Structure formats: structure tokens, C-alpha cells
Structure 1
Amino acid sequence: MIVYLSKRLFMTVLVIAVTSVIAFLLVHLSGDPAAAMAGEGASDADIEAVRATYGFDRPLYVQYLEWAGRVLTGDLGRSTYLRADVTEVLARHMPVTATLGACALGFALALSIPLGVFAALRPNTMIDRFALWLAVAGQALPSFLFALGLMYLFGVYLRWLPISGSDTWLHYLMPSIALGYYATPAIMRLTRSGMLDVLQSDHVRTARAYGLAPWRVVVRHGLRHAIIPVVSLAAVQLGFMLGGSIVIETIFSLKGIGHLAWESIQRADIEVIQAILLVIAAAYAVLTLLADLLNAALDPRIRIS
């Protein structure tokens, strides 16, 4: 287990390092950051002054090494627009996105796993067809359109839920459903296919032959093995929710990381953009690591191999 953990930690650090280089290059090669920060009506002299002030006139590898060195010490830079440390800015916005992502993933798992299990237990029935229809609808329906539909029905027409803000847990219901519904089809289909394979395996037939309760056979001997790939997929989906919640946050006026990224791009706030890309990449890598460790705990064959 220690060898397996060491290898996964090394890969996680390597992924974060490579991603930091790519994120830095994307920000600086997508356009002239000095011209973007100077504004549309800036003269050539103004642009050159901005370039010299923020060190954009130096080679890219020198800029990256300086930025990476500051990041390793915990210094993510200072926002040129907000006039505040980037760490403080992210600390104000990250809890909103983290809460939204956790609630959305919880909704997706609570809906997709039972549907996948019931569909596998009753293949080619109405339950199975309903689950497959739900999966197709979830992939075909854009998240922003689904979010607007929820907002109109529960916020405007029925007036059951607030449509903007993040003051109470009620403010997170509709955004969580809108964001989590997009991840439901993939998790549901993977659960269904995994359960269909496991329920036909020898150890499940043996458990049934011993006369174990049906729910125990399904949960302990079936779902425990079928859930392993779902754990990895759930970690990837959570990382996607953290990085791709910009549309949902904008619709429901949630001041999270996605909304901050959109504003930072409009303001050409380079330090904030780089920090957000790095944080999201690190979140992806760490979540994948945690999923692999959880899978190793559930299935000893993974850590043995």
C-alpha cells in the first residue's frame, strides 16, 4: 500500500506541475497581457510602461520560474483590479463553489446510483427504460436551459425557492440540481452496467445459493464491487463541477470561483486567472488521487497489482 501511495503521490505532483506550466502559457500566449491590462484606449507608451512594471518584457521561462517560486511559498500574487492578495480573493469565493459542487455531486449520486441499481435488477422493464430515458434527456438538455426552467418553475411561478444569492441552504437547491443533473446520466449508466456484470458473477450466485437476503446480496456482494469505477467517475465529475460551474453561478448570482474567473477574464486580471487555473487543476489531481486510494481500499487487487 505504501508503494502504491508513493506512486500515486508522485503522479499527482507531476500532473499539477505540468498543468501549471500549461496554464501559465495559455494565459500569456492567448494575447498580450500588457495590452489587455492597459485598456483599449492605451497608447504604445502606456502598454510598454505596463509591460515593464509587471515584468512582461522578460522571457516567459523567467516569468514562470518567478511565479512558480512564489506559489511554492504560498504567495499567489496580488490582484491588479481588486487590489488584494489573490489568496484572500480565492478564500472568499471558494466556499461557495465547494458547497455547490458537493451538493450537486450528492444530488447526482443520490439519484443515479439507486436508478442504476434498480435498472440492473429489472432490465428491459419500465424502470430500466425510465432510467435510460433520463440519461438521454440529461445529456441532451443544456445545463443553462435546465437551470432557467427550474428558476421559472420554483422561483418565479411557485415562489418556493430563492432564485439568486447564497445566504441560506435554500439558495443552493436549484443550482445544485441544475449542476448535478448533468452528471447523473454517466454515473447512472456506469452503475447499471457494473451491476449487470456483477450480478452474473460466480460469487453473487454463490451468495444467493447460501440463502442470503436479497438486499444483502445486492448491496454487499453486488454494489460494493460495481461501485468501484463509479468512485473514480464521481471524483472526475466533482472536479468538473468545481471548474465548470461558471454558467450556473452566473445564472443564480453565486459569487464562486466560476463567477470570479469570468470577471477576471473581463478585467484581464492575470494573477487571479492563473491562480484559478492552478487551483482547479490541483483539485482535479487531488480528487483523482483520493478516488484511487478509496478504490484501493475497496478492492485489494488494485493495490496488490
Structure 2
Amino acid sequence: MLAFTLRRLVVALSVALTVSLIAFVLLHLSGDLATSIAGPEASPAQVAQVRQEYGLDRPLTVQYLDWLWRAVHLDFGNSFYFRTTVASIIAERMPVTMTLGAISLMISLVIAVPLGIIAAVFKGTLIDRLALTFCVLGQAIPTFCLGLGLIIVFAVNLRWLPVSGTAGWMNYILPSVALGWYAVPAVMRLSRNGMLEVLSADYIRTARAKGLSPAVVVLKHALRNAIIPVVALAAVQFGFMLGGSIVVEAVFSMHGVGHLAWEAIARNDFPVVQAVVLILAAIYITLTFVADVINALLDPRMRVA
């Protein structure tokens, strides 16, 4: 188990380093940062002064290593627009995005896993076909369209829930449903396929031959093995939700990290953009690493492989 964990850790660190390099290079390839910081009406002397002030006249390798070293110590520099440290801005906005992602993931799992189990148990029936149709509809509706529809129905017409903001837990209901809806089809299909594979196993037939009730066979014996792939997918989906929260936070005016990324891109606030990309990628990589370790604990075959 230790060797398996160390191998996965090396892979995770390699991916994180690659992401940081790509984020740094792409940002510098987008244009002259000194000109963007100084403004389009700045004189060549002012642009040169900005380039020297922010260290942009140094070789890219030196800039990258310096930025990476400071980022490892959670020092992402100062924001060009907000005039404060990037770390403090992200620390202020991160709880909103993490809460939104956690609630969205919980909603998607609560809907998708039982739906996948029911579809597998009633394979080939009308219930199974309706569940698969539900999945297709889930992937066909864009997140921002669903969010706007939820606002019109539940906030404007019925006035049951607030439209925007993060004042209370009710503010998270509509955006969480909009963000979690897209993950339901993938989790539901994986749950259904895993359950179908497990239900045809020999030990399930043995459990049925012993006279165990269908509920015990499905929920106690089959679900444990069928749920293993869902653990890895849930971690991946949570990472996607954190990155995809940009659209949802913009629609519902939630000032989280996603909305911060949109603001930073619109205002050419490059330190914030770099920090958001790196932090979200690090969270995604960490979740994937943890999911691999949990799967290895649940399924010894992964450790052997």
C-alpha cells in the first residue's frame, strides 16, 4: 500500500508542476504583461518602468522559478486591481466556492446513485429507460440555461428562494442544483453499469440462493463493490465543479473564486489569474490522489495491479 501511495504521489506532484508551468507560459504568451499593466496609453518609458518594477525584464526561467517558489509558500504577490495580496483575496472567496461545490456534489450523488441502482435492478424496463432519458436531458441542458430557468421559476415567479448572494443557506440551493445537475448523468450511468456488473457475479447469486432479501443483496453485498468507481468519479466531478463554478457564480452573483477568476481575466489581473488556476488545479489533483488511495483501500486488486 505504501509503494502504491508513493507512486500516486509522484504522479500527482508531476502533474501539478506541469500545470504550473503551462499556466505561467500561457499567461506570458497572451501578450506583453508590462503593456497590459501600464495601460494602452502609457509611454514607452512608463512601460519600461513597469517591466523593471515587476521583474518582467528578467529571463522567463528566472521569473517562473521565483513565482513557483513564492507560490509554494502561498505568496502569490499583490493584485493589480484590488491592491492587496492575492492570497488574502482567495482566502476570502474560497469558502463560497468550496461550499457551493460540496453542496452540488452532495445533491448529484443523492440523486444519481439511487437512480443508477434502481435502473440496474429494473434493467430493460420502463424505469430503466426513463432513467437513461433523464441522463440525456441532464447533459443536454447547459448549466447557465438551467440556472436562468431556476431563477425564473423559483425566484421570480414563485418567490420561494433568493436570486443571488451568499447571505444564508437558501442562497446556495438554486446554484447548487444548477451546478450539480450536470454531474448527475455521469454518476448515474457509472452507478448503473457498476451495479449491473456486480449483480451478475457469483457471490451475488450465492447470496440470493441463501434466501437473503433483494434489499439486503443489493444494498449490503452489491453496493459496496459497485460504488468503488463512483468514489473516483466523485472526486473528479468535485474538481470540475470548482472550475465550472465560474459560470454559476456569475449567473447567481456569488462572489467566490470562480467569480474572482472572471473579474481577474476581465481586468488583466494576472497574479490573480495565475493563483486561481494553480490553486484549483492543486485541489483537483489532490482530490484525484485521495480518490486513488481510497479506491486502493476498498479494492486490493488496484494495489496488486
**C-alpha contact 1:16 1:285 (8 A) present in aligned 2:** yes
**Larger deviation: 209-218 or 161-170?**
209-218
| Structure 1 residue aligned with 2:18 | 18
How many pairs were matched up? 305
Q: Deviations 1:52-87 (Å, cap 9, x if unpaired)?
A: 211112211110011111122231211121111111
| Structure 2 residue aligned with 1:167 | 167
Deviation at 1:42, TM superposition (A): 2.3
| Structure 1 residue aligned with 2:135 | 135
Unaligned residue ranges in structure 1 (runs of 5+):
none
| Structure 1 residue aligned with 2:189 | 189
| Structure 2 residue aligned with 1:283 | 283
3-state DSSP class of the match of 1:245?
A: helix
3-state DSSP class of the match of 2:57?
A: coil
| Structure 1 residue aligned with 2:88 | 88
Q: Does residue 1:202 correspond to 2:205, yes or no?
A: no
**Equivalent-residue separation in structure 1 for 2:222 and 2:41 (angstroms):** 65
Q: Deviations 1:108-141 (Å, cap 9, x if unpaired)?
A: 0000000000000001222212211111111111
**Equivalent-residue separation in structure 1 for 2:118 and 2:40 (angstroms):** 58
**Larger deviation: 63-72 or 178-187?**
63-72
**C-alpha contact 1:37 1:267 (8 A) present in aligned 2:** no
| Structure 1 residue aligned with 2:241 | 241
3-state DSSP class of the match of 1:83?
A: coil
**Larger deviation: 209-218 or 251-260?**
209-218
Q: Deviations 1:130-163 (Å, cap 9, x if unpaired)?
A: 2111111111111100100000000000000001
Q: Does residue 1:100 correspond to 2:100, yes or no?
A: yes
| Structure 2 residue aligned with 1:63 | 63
**Equivalent-residue separation in structure 2 for 1:265 and 1:205 (angstroms):** 57
**Equivalent-residue separation in structure 2 for 1:182 and 1:30 (angstroms):** 31
Deviation at 1:17, TM superposition (A): 1.1
**Equivalent-residue separation in structure 1 for 2:253 and 2:196 (angstroms):** 42
TM-score under structure 2 length normalisation: 0.97
**C-alpha contact 1:195 1:222 (8 A) present in aligned 2:** yes
| Partner amino acid, structure 2, of 1:52 | Q
Deviation at 1:31, TM superposition (A): 1.5
| Partner amino acid, structure 1, of 2:241 | M
CA RMSD of superposed structures (Å): 1.1
Q: Does residue 1:48 correspond to 2:48, yes or no?
A: yes
| Structure 1 residue aligned with 2:76 | 76
**Larger deviation: 127-136 or 155-164?**
127-136
3-state DSSP class of the match of 1:191?
A: helix
| Structure 2 residue aligned with 1:119 | 119
| Structure 1 residue aligned with 2:211 | 211
**Equivalent-residue separation in structure 1 for 2:185 and 2:74 (angstroms):** 39
Q: Does residue 1:261 correspond to 2:261, yes or no?
A: yes
**Equivalent-residue separation in structure 2 for 1:134 and 1:53 (angstroms):** 56
| Structure 2 residue aligned with 1:179 | 179
3-state DSSP class of the match of 1:165?
A: coil
